[in-house]
Amino acid sequence: MQTILGANGIIGKLSKALLPYASVIRQVSRNPKKVNATDELMAADLADYKQTVKAVEGSSVTYLTAGLPYRTKIWQRQWPVIVQNVINACKIAGSKLVFFDNVYMYGKVNGWMTEETPYRPASKKGKVRTEIAQMLHDEMQRGALPVLIARSADFYGPGANNSIPNIPVLDNLAKGAKPQWIGNAAMRHSFTYTPDAGRATALLGNTPSAYNQVWHLPTDKNALTGKEFIRTACEIFEKGDAKYSVLPNWMLRLGGIFKQELGELVEMMYQYDYEYLFDSTKFEKAFHFKPTSYRSGLVETIAIMKKQKG
């Protein structure tokens, strides 16, 4: 049996990708739902140690893909507790641990982010991600727990309902509204396609030699600018033009007065005002994996959106 902590989240495709490797997949979250007919469901609060131990019990591989509300104080308080709980639970169960991570710990990077990029966080949230990544690196050094970090760029694609490309671009186009972008639309920005992230994470978790390493999940290296992303989406939606608007930083700050998540995004705007380039060469070479191109990913995503709407 393999276990997903943070089930039904943004990389829900992981559940289906695990089927070739595990006959039973335990879905764990506060309100878990079945993805596959054979799934086992368990409700648990990962901030509770005893519940976490119970959730991991009997698992050969545990995937920590949970998310927390996008608020710095919650991250500072809960992430270290959750990660330590899961580390301890995996040791008790004799389970391997796969941690699904982002790139906040790198901070502002000039050039391509690789697995060797040093941790230089430029935000409070980045400092939290650095702290929990270091906890996992320490476990790698101790050698008592097989653990790996699977790191992704920002998402786009099916299930990425709260992502920057999906909400202001694809959702707006789907309802006939003008697409919007956040930050500098002339800068290239890498996005990881959610089905690729799911397949790759399952592959890593079931490859013994992948452990005690950091892996960047497969992401098309032909990163688009915001303007190019919008233009491609408009072409697929068969819109006559690719006109768009840009949401300036001051509007995020103002919006943060009414919706806290918008205000919380302000410290991360360096990711959208400058180039954000994510390199997954290590994974691609090791697993002979070709990431989905942006056009193909957008074609598939938009087809799914139209089907759901129809």
- Higher per-residue confidence, 123 vs 144: 123
Compute, in degrees rounded to 10, the torsion defined by CA atoms 268, 187, 222, 206.
0
CA Rg value for the chain = 19
Q: Is the pLDDT of residue 297 over 70?
A: yes
Q: For the segment 28-68, what is each residue's pLDDT rounded down to a tens digit? A: 998 888 888 899 999 999 999 999 999 999 999 999 999 89
Sign of the CA dihedral running 167, 173, 178, 181: positive
Q: Which amino acid is at 190?
A: S
- pLDDT in the model for residue 255: 46
- pLDDT in the model for residue 263: 62
Q: Is the pLDDT of residue 176 over 50?
A: yes
Taking the C-alpha atoms of residue 227 and residue 175, their distance in angstroms, rounded to an integer, is 19
- pLDDT in the model for residue 262: 58
The encoded tokens of residue 17 equal 């990708």
Per-residue pLDDT, averaged over 186-193, amounts to 96
- Higher per-residue confidence, 96 vs 172: 96
Q: Is the pLDDT of residue 250 over 70?
A: no
Q: Model pTM greater than 0.75?
A: yes
Average pLDDT, the chain: 91
Q: For the segment 56-114, what is each residue's pLDDT rounded down to a tens digit? A: 999 999 999 998 988 999 999 999 999 999 999 999 999 999 999 999 999 999 999 99
- pLDDT in the model for residue 260: 53
CATH fold for domain 2-154+192-216: Rossmann fold (3.40.50)
The domain segmentation of the chain, as residue ranges, is 2-154+192-216, 157-190+222-278+293-309
- pLDDT in the model for residue 264: 75
Confidence of residue 135 (pLDDT cuts 50, 70, 90): very high
- pLDDT in the model for residue 168: 85
Q: Is the pLDDT of residue 252 over 60?
A: no
- pLDDT in the model for residue 256: 40
